[in-house]
Amino acid sequence: MAGLQPVRGTHDLFPADMRRHRMVIDTARAVAERYGYGEIATPIFEFSEVFQRTLGDTSDIVTKEMYSFTDRGGETITLRPEYTAGIARAFISGGLQHQLPLKVFCHGPMFRYERPQKGRQRQFHQIDVELLGVAQPQADIEVISLGWDILAALGLSERCVLELNTLGDQASRAAYRQVLVEYFRAHKANLSEDSLARLDRNPLRILDSKDEGDRKVVAGAPSFQDHLNDDSKAFFATVKTGLETLKIPYKLNPRLVRGLDYYCHSAFEFTTTDLGAQGTVLGGGRYDGLIETMGGPATPGIGWAAGIERLAMLIAEPPAPPRPIAIVPMGEVGEAKALVLAQALRRAGFTVDLGYGGNMKKRMQRANKANARAAVILGEDELQRGAAAVRDLDSGEQTEIPLDRLETHLAQFR
């Protein structure tokens, strides 16, 4: 019977769940549009190389979590574990370098083979924002501000904290990397296997290791702030001043990193304590070297992604769908009229519930189960008079209304 259950790490989204998801997506889309971001969609699978080149051969996503397979044509394909790589690929293959700055918003499912946890499944959903082609810190301010405004529109800004760090420019990063590798090599005996594997290729990732032994070593590691050059300090100062000007509160977190070499300058996360250990609801950073790494033209970029499931768990209950008008036909004449009337009312903007059979009692029970606001009863006698009986299902009051005035009368029940 296992085949009749959802695969571990996946779940069905029923109407109540979808209302929450839709609230997150629609709110994010509306705010992003006000910032001038156009909505795009990329395929949910790409050639595996797209992610291997961008996420790094030593990342957990590539080594442990990607859903990859060989298709019938012999191509190695991967279900997307994140959005940014696919958008960068689309930028290159679509020849969009002449449309800079490029500002995009998207949403959709992601796939990672990892231990299912609160708000994170093996198939999960994200909203994503990317801004390509702007090297100035104003882009960082805008992208973070957009995230803040979406959280505020969802009623979550008071429950989230913006954690902020700088990774400096490439020169600062290279200098820090050398110092960091020397420090970790002196403490190799206390590092986990994963961190030892990252030591030469991806040492910054050790800084956000969850291993307890690693964390003790990391606590004494040199600070990135001590190795920033003047340009990097000035860039970060502009970002912080911009956020302060916009009254967006933040907390500096020197351990917040992005491990791959194409990341630089701003790294940020919005976190909450309302979801237990899985507290990050939105995170991103600047990745000026990514598109060049993929074989495209040197193009600065910055963006973020947010988990729809986690945001959906935090928001207030969305408004219920409109209560329908129930049409209750009696007899063959009533049935024939009901089809025409239901279609006319739907085209006029009403939500209509039309039962598929049963006597008057059963149809009224269905109307109550559907939480209908009113019932339009089409009996033979009323129809002969060119009318219908309209029952207010909240008050119980029933009125006979001419058919040509029905839409006007029902407007009060929208």
CA distances to 19, 92, 235 from 39, rounded to whole Å, are 20, 18, 29
Instruction: Convert 346-412 into a string of H (helix), E (strand) and C (coil).
Output: HHCCCCEEECCCCCHHHHHHHHHHCCCCEEEEECHHHHHCCEEEEEECCCCCEEEEEHHHHHHHHHH
Structure tokens at 53: 């080149």
- pLDDT per residue over 8-17, tens digit each? 888 999 999 9
Q: Where are the domains of the chain?
A: 2-169+229-314, 325-413
* Pair 263, 253: CB distance under 8 Å: no
Structure tokens at 157: 């800004």
Peptide bond into 101 cis (omega under 30): yes
Question: Quick one: angle between helices 137-153 and 230-245, nearest 10?
Answer: 30
The CATH number corresponding to 2-169+229-314 among 3.30.930.10, 3.80.30.20, 3.10.20.440, 3.40.50.300 equals 3.30.930.10
Q: Whole-angstrom Cα distance, residue 4 to residue 355?
A: 30
The pLDDT-based confidence of 2 (bands split at 50, 70, 90) is low
pLDDT at 31 over 80: yes
Q: Whole-angstrom Cα distance, residue 66 to residue 64?
A: 6
**Residue 388's pLDDT is what?**
94
**Residue 414's pLDDT is what?**
84
Phi, psi (deg, nearest 5) at residue 348: -85, 0
pLDDT at 270 over 90: yes
Q: Whole-angstrom Cα distance, residue 1 to residue 9?
A: 17
Q: Whole-angstrom Cα distance, residue 93 to residue 98?
A: 13
Mean pLDDT of all residues belonging to the chain: 90
Class of domain 325-413: alpha beta
Q: Whole-angstrom Cα distance, residue 223 to residue 250?
A: 19
- pLDDT per residue over 235-253, tens digit each? 999 999 999 999 999 999 9
